[in-house]
Amino acid sequence: MTTRRRFLAICASAACLPSIGNATPMYTWQGTALGARATLRLDHPDAKAISARVVAEISRLEDIFSLYRPESRLQRLNRTGHLTAPPFELLECLSLADAVHRASDGKFDPTIQPLWACYAEASMLGKPPTPKRLSKALSQTGWKQVRFDTSAIELQSGMALTLNGIAQGYIADRIAGMLEAEGLTDILIDTGEFRALGRQPNGRAWPVKLAAGGEVALAARALATSAPLGTTFDAEARVGHIINPSTGVPARALWREISVSAGSAGLADALSTAACLFETRDAMSRFIASFKGARIEAVLSV
């Protein structure tokens, strides 16, 4: 199984700070966040304290969305099929997922977690899942069977959710809002997906390099990239991690990489994920255009 390299990086500077004598040196924090190597670089007189609050907020959000923390809200929901008084962030993410699900004709579906687990378990044994196991996993999916409101989230028996196609971007949005509230305006956040508030301190847009080549100039905007074969379940790297919820089969390898920009990183993340399941560029373009301000930045065919 392979995966594209992930890390978290935040670069930010203060806007219109009062003179404090000597120039404030750039503060750098390095550690782990979102299960990956993390770097924060802040140009602010209170950078150390702000960094600590950012790291704490990321950890709080992981306690909601992570599939790797046994007591996260998402894991508790998946274990029991029920979560009372769900946090606002989880409901907001599910509402966004619902909008993308409907616009994509069901291609974006967080209930594919049983299918993902099916492929992952088979991958550990070095073989594809059996038709019987795959059929069972497919029977445990279906976004229309998910019920949620401010009082509770309900799943049918055997169902489980994954928000890996949207939560990284959503977390970038939340951190951007937090830093903006701290008085920082020239910000680039990279959680695996990008969110830019403002521009570089020199006034230029943030240059974001794409893994497959090329560059996107990002200013007051978000960018997400998905690759159907970015993570694979087989030794030949042909069975990808983006699964068609209607068939239970991974996306056909038509696209090497798709990059989408939008006003929020959560939306860009979900759109780029769903786009991998479209079989023509025209259909993909119509889907992306159904969301105001969203656009395709790059599509690379296999």
pLDDT band for position 43 (50/70/90)?
Answer: confident
What integer pLDDT is reported at residue 196 of this predicted model?
93
Query: Model confidence at 4, in pLDDT bands (50, 70, 90)?
Result: very low
Q: Give the pLDDT confidence of 98-138 residue by residue, as tens digits.
A: 999 999 999 999 999 999 999 999 999 999 999 999 999 99
Answer yes or no: is 41 within a domain. Answer: yes
Q: State the Cα–Cα distance between residues 178 and 184, nearest whole angstrom.
A: 9
Q: Give the span between the Cα atoms of 287 and 62, in whole angstroms.
A: 30
| Percent of the chain surpassing pLDDT 70 | 93
- Tokens 């996306």: give the residue: 251
pTM here? 0.91
Give the model's confidence band at 94: pLDDT under 50 very low, under 70 low, under 90 confident, else very high: very high
**Residue 201, pLDDT above cutoff 90:** no
The per-residue pLDDT for 21 is 41
Which pLDDT score, from 0 to 100, does residue 24 have?
58
CA gap 203, 180 in Å, rounded: 17
23 has pLDDT over 80: no
Q: Which pLDDT tens digit goes with each residue over 157-186?
A: 999 999 999 998 999 999 999 999 988 888
Judged on CB neighbours under 10 Å (0-12, 13-18, 19+), 173 is buried
Tokens 């099916």 -> residue: 118
Strands (E), 94-202: 147-148, 152-154, 184-190, 194-197
Check pLDDT > 80 for residue 64. yes
- Asked if 286 and 274 count as a contact pair (C-beta separation under 8 A), the reply is no
Q: 270 in a domain, yes or no? A: no
Taking residues 75-88, what's their average pLDDT?
98
Domain that holds residue 206: 7-67+168-220
The pLDDT of residue 1: 36
Dist CA 165 CA 273 (whole Å): 6
Within a domain: residue 85?
A: no
pLDDT averaged over the chain?
A: 90
Residue 33 is assigned to a structural domain of this protein: yes
Per-residue model confidence (pLDDT) at position 156 = 96
The answer to whether residue 32 sits within a structural domain is yes
Q: How many domains are contained in the chain? A: 1
Bridge-based pairing of strands 184-190 and 194-197 is antiparallel
Within a domain: 38: yes
252: left (phi over 0), alpha (psi -120 to 50) or beta: beta
Residue 295 has pLDDT above 60, yes or no: yes
Q: What pLDDT is attached to residue 35? A: 72
Beta carbons of 33 and 58 less than 8 angstroms apart = yes
Q: Confidence class of residue 6 from pLDDT cuts 50, 70 and 90?
A: very low
Q: Is residue 13 part of a domain?
A: yes
If you average pLDDT over each of 18-27, 184-193, 209-218, 278-287, which comes out highest? 278-287
Confidence of residue 200 (pLDDT cuts 50, 70, 90): confident
Residue 35 CB contacts under 8 Å (≥ 6 apart), including other chains:
6, 66, 68
User: Which amino acid is it at 203?
Assistant: G
Tell me the pLDDT band of 7, cut-offs 50, 70 and 90: low
Q: Is the pLDDT of residue 97 over 50?
A: yes
Residue 99 belongs to a domain = no
Residue 19: predicted pLDDT: 35
Could you report the per-residue pLDDT of 24-41, keeping only the tens digit for each? 578 888 887 777 777 888
**Rounded to 5 degrees, what are φ and ψ at 101?**
-60, -50
Going by C-alpha positions, the residue among 156, 167, 151 that lies closest to residue 97 is: 167
